[in-house]
Amino acid sequence: MNDIKQFLRSNALRPTKQRIVIAGYLFDGTDKHVTAESLSTELAKRKHIISLATIYNTLHDFYENGLLKKLTLSADRVYFDTNTDDHHHFYSEKEQFLIDINKNIKVNGLPKTPRNKKINKIEVIVHLDK
């Protein structure tokens, strides 16, 4: 709790009640993938009612400070990922199935990068079926 406050301060974020609750949930040591909606639901289960606007604000604040990654897997919701290491995903849209691939993956045979551009990140999504 004081660790969380320090953690927030060290990221130039005021430790408000809401941010403390959200950070406490997100950064509890287990990797998580959340959407604004799923986060709201989880917090509500724990009797922490925080407005959706604040949940969106906070996810973005954390993202902008590098505490979360953003995943675009489906067109109709954004996932935030507490695992900020370089990693990839198994994903099944139909089944809402999303898990990390933390093993080192190598992508071979890439053509040369287009002129005047530079690779920012290589993202591998392994789409699964039942």
Applying CB under 5 A, which residues contact Zn ion? 81, 83, 100
Q: Residue 87 CB, nearest distance to Zn ion (Å)?
A: 5
Asked whether 32 and 26 are in contact (CB, 8 A), the reply is yes
Told to check if 70 binds DNA by CB under 7 A, we report no
- 75 lines the binding site for DNA (CB under 7 A): yes
Instruction: Map residue 26 onto helix, strand or coil.
Output: helix
Is position 33 an interface residue for DNA (rule: CB under 7 A)? no
Q: Are 86 and 99 in contact (CB under 8 A)?
A: no
Do strands 77-81 and 88-92 pair parallel, antiparallel, or not at all (unpaired)? unpaired
The tokens describing 7, both together, are 């953690």
Q: Tokens in use for 122?
A: 């290589």
Which listed range, 3-11, 22-30, 42-50, 116-124, lies at the site for its own copies (CB under 8 A)? Answer: 116-124
Residue numbers of the site for DNA (CB under 7 A)?
A: 9, 13-19, 35-37, 50-54, 56-58, 60, 75-78
